[in-house]
A and B are shown apart, each in its own frame.
Chain A
Amino acid sequence: MLSALILIPLVAALVLILWPGKLEAQTAKVVSGIGLALSLALIGFLATQFELATPGFQFEELLPWVEPLGLSYRLGLDGLSLPLLAVNSLLSLVAIYISEPTLHRTRLYYVLLLVINSAVAGAFLAANLLLFFIFYELELIPLYLLIAIWGGSRRGYAATKFLIYTALSGVLILGAFLGLVWLSGNTSFDYDSGLAAALPLAQQISLLVALLIGFGIKVPLFPFHTWLPDAHVEASTPVSVLLAGVLLKLGTYGVVRFGLGLLPDAWMALAPWMATWAVISVLYGSLAAIAQTDMKKMVAYSSIGHMGYVLLAAAASTPVSIVATVFQMISHGLISALLFLLVGVVYKATGTRDMTVLRGLLNPERGLPFVGSMMILGVMASAGIPGMVGFISEFLVFRGSFLIFPVQTLLCMVGSGLTAVYFLLLVNRVFFGRLAIAPPTVAPQLDIELPSVTWRDRAPALGLAVLIIAFGLQPNWLARWSENITLALHQPYQGFVQARTQFAPTAVPAVADTLFVDPALTLPTPVLPVFAAPSVEISLP
């Protein structure tokens, strides 16, 4: 069943490749759309069959492949990968939908998008380290081509930079995986949380550092982030949506799945450093975003900042913070996709993303009022305004991490405040004031007539906005999938969390922080299922 998620997009790609005669963009969109909609429907079906109480892999598939290498085709679905798979298919669908119908080399473009979807689905499903690595690398090539062929004026530079960085990331990850398996004397690369249990701490730490740098490039975390703004600026809007919404998540997913999940001893040893690293990344991303004048670059830097929260939450490794990693990944996926989408619409309508010249796009008659409203909603969500998914994810991150790393968490909160600063700068410059898309000139000019945005262009933004608000109001719709896997992931860290928990009496185990877990399942302390619970604890002496 899980293989279908990998195969359906590939079959759609095959159909496009074999499509007789000239492939019209509309046809390509319909074929790709049907494929991705099928994937999404299948994920929906799997969700209905998904057993929430089972923490491990479900719907497992196992095919021996290259046995001497320890490579098996082993797939599994758990609460960590299920939401990410859904976002992957959803945003791929959005990317297909918003692709310009006038693109050249139609066939190749849509095939590449489908291959990316397939590879990312494979990476999220892989329950074998080598298989993950194969899918992880497989996604690089289509993305490189998508930037290099359909990108902006400096696309060659940006695509190559992306390729070099992420190839390096791949090498480090492969090295770490090989080291992990070989040093532990295993013959199989199958995912097993006890894989590194017997390794000495020094070896574990070396492996974890390699993994962290490898995935840190992909996330990206400061100082390995420099490829991202370039890639975003040069990539077309659909590719940016995918890049920010899905592909960066491979990095954070890797950190949580393979770092947190496989190397607990090293993780505990490095956790304070990781939390500090997260702070640096968050603050750097936010401050750099403030300095940007290109809308897309600003959103790109904000991504760097917001992905840092995932590292902070993962470092804290409390049940709440591990739920928060999933939540933040999904939340950032939806919000950044929305923001990139809207920046794309602005760029299409005005021909510029330069915040020094764009003004007043909220003008109700001649501007882009709908896009402006959605943008305001998007930046509010990103800044963590209650009622939207960004608030829930940031709250969970901070709530889950505060007792473990209070200073780092507080500093990350500053980053959250800075989000409001740079995005309000963006909204204020671009959407308020008198409508303008070019610097004022001396010569008289006719009043601006921007082309109006059709409902066709508005629909995907509206869809994402609805999800952002829905998950903001009903976070359990999202969190319920990950509750048990987070508890399982947290298992090795109980002692660590208890030892590091500050401000709270040891009598109350930090495990009880879990917001979403049914108390009857695992926990002795009764916990309210909603957000009333944490405030009680915070107020303890």
Chain B
Amino acid sequence: MTKTLSLAKANSHPLEPFIQKLLSAEALLPDSENNVIEVVGILKSYGVVLDAYSKNLIYIADHQFLVLFPFFKYFNGKVTLPQLLRHWWHDRINFEYAEYCMKTMLWHGGGKMDEYLDSDDFLQQCQAAVAAKIKTNLPIRALNGLFPDFLPEQVRQLAYYSALGQFWRVMSDLFIDLSDAYDAGKVQTIPEVVAFVKAGLVAAAANPITYAVEINGTSYELLPKSAGLTFLMDVAVPYVEAVFFRGTPFLGTVSYNAQANQISADQGRFEYGALYADPLPIGGAGIPPTLLMQDMRHYLPDYLTAFYQSSGRGLDDVRVKICQSFQKSMFCVTSASLQGLLPHPADTQDPRERAANHAFLSGWMDRLATSRLDIVQL
């Protein structure tokens, strides 16, 4: 008789303790009082910022459809002189960051949405919408004739604008609710935070993701309900993949040389996402995550400001601190997502289901091996 190793042993993973934590409804982030303050506080301000990002993304998708020189796209349709001055003075939300995330999603693709955007159904609707939009615009019609792929690609991008806006709408409300629950004393530990987020994700999992644009009184369904795109699998998961894991090698104080193969040719092996990000370059000019940290700085709850004030350089290096807290919170959201995506209930007793759960988490842990997981434990 052949002796077989027990399943658990065979699958022993360098990050096995984290797999066990996720299976026992704990989090990738250790539970501590400070971590709760940081995570909930930062998600509160993130929620406020996401609300603004989401509204603007949806505004651009709906109202700046194929506006090829969208000078006022960040104004949500309200262009006044005081607002213009505020914009130039840069006293505003950095909506560019939302676009970076949208483009990262567009670029990495994934999920059924990516497939649908390449389908004939989409192309037909898209061409109809494009034709309606450029009916009276001769130069653009000439451009479309010469480069017939250009405008549909713009429309695909607009679909991502809309999808990310819809995703962040849900996440913004979820994070604000989380903050309210914390303020009310209902959430007090990191596992409770994770459970709260997981419940929110699961509740919204089947929400349809749709996108329709109205041109001259006719509505064009670019992402129709019939395409069956849903919140969790078609937007949330690709988002986590694109923004948390893969990301983009942003220009920063660490230079990557693509010619020297420092950037993998395989997008699937990208490790530049939020979970891998180095908080120290934050604050350097031209490094996009700085934009998000700048935005969140305005909406920190008082208790988090006091917490930052009390350590190190106080608020002088607050953007680095925000980035560190944000990274911690993203490990919590990742924990919630992974728990929500488990193929079988975490507490199943069926050995095959347990093995499947374990294999699922092992796959993700392989990718987390080079992340900042070990540093957020400190």
Contact = CB atoms under 8 A, between A and B. Distances in A.
Interface string A421-448: 0000000000011110000000011111
A502 B103 CA distance: 67
A121 B130 CA distance: 84
A365 B282 contact: yes
B297 to A, nearest CB: 12
B281 interface: yes
A447 B279 contact: yes
A87 to B, nearest CB: 34
A432 B252 CA distance: 11
Contacts of A444: 374-375, 377-378
Contact of A445 (B279, B317, B375): B375
Nearest to B252: A434
A453 to B, nearest CB: 10
Contact of B313 (A360, A433, A434, A452): A452
A445 B372 CA distance: 10
Given A444-B377, A447-B324, A452-B316, A363 B280 contact: yes
B330 to A, nearest CB: 16
Given A433-B254, A452-B316, A447 B374 contact: no
B253 A366 contact: no
Interface residues of B, number: 20
A364 B284 contact: yes
Instruction: Give chain B's interface secondary structure class.
Output: loop
A434 B320 contact: no
B375 A366 contact: no
B317 A433 contact: no
Contact of B254 (A434, A446, A447, A448): A434
Given A434-B253, A447-B320, A363 B283 contact: yes
A434 B377 CA distance: 22
B316 A365 contact: yes
A434 B281 contact: yes
B278 interface: yes
Interface string B250-269: 00011000000000000000
A342 to B, nearest CB: 19
Interface in B360-378: 374-375, 377-378
Given A447-B279, A452-B313, A365 B375 contact: no
A435 B378 contact: no
Given A365-B320, A434-B253, A452-B313, A446 B378 contact: yes
Chain A contact surface mostly: loop
A192 interface: no
Contacts of B284: 363-364
Nearest to A369: B283
Interface string B277-320: 01111111000000000000000000000000000110011011
A449 interface: yes
Contacts of A365: 280, 282-283, 313, 316-317, 319-320
Q: Give the bracket for the number of chain A residues in contact with chain B.
A: 10 to 19
B283 A364 contact: yes
Contacts of A363: 253, 280-281, 283-284
Contact of B253 (A433, A446, A448, A449): A433
Task: Name which of A364, A365, A451 has the most chain B CB atoms within 10 A of its CB.
Answer: A365
B54 to A, nearest CB: 28
A449 B313 contact: yes
A363 B323 CA distance: 15
Contacts of A449: 312-313, 317
Contacts of B320: 365-366, 447
A365 B374 CA distance: 23
B309 to A, nearest CB: 13
Interface in A225-277: none
Contacts of B324: 447
Contacts of B375: 444-447
Nearest to B284: A364
Nearest to B313: A452
A23 B160 CA distance: 71
B278 to A, nearest CB: 7
Interface in A336-370: 360, 363-366
A366 B280 contact: yes
A445 B282 CA distance: 18
Interface in A369-386: none
Interface string A197-218: 0000000000000000000000
A365 B317 CA distance: 5
A447 B321 CA distance: 10
Nearest to A451: B313
B114 to A, nearest CB: 34
B34 to A, nearest CB: 13
Interface of A: 360, 363-366, 432-435, 444-449, 451-452
Given A365-B282, A449-B312, 6 more contacts: A363-B253, A363-B280, A366-B280, A366-B320, A434-B254, A452-B313
14 contacts: A365-B313, A365-B320, A366-B320, A432-B253, A434-B280, A435-B280, A444-B375, A444-B378, A446-B375, A447-B280, A447-B324, A448-B280, A451-B313, A452-B313
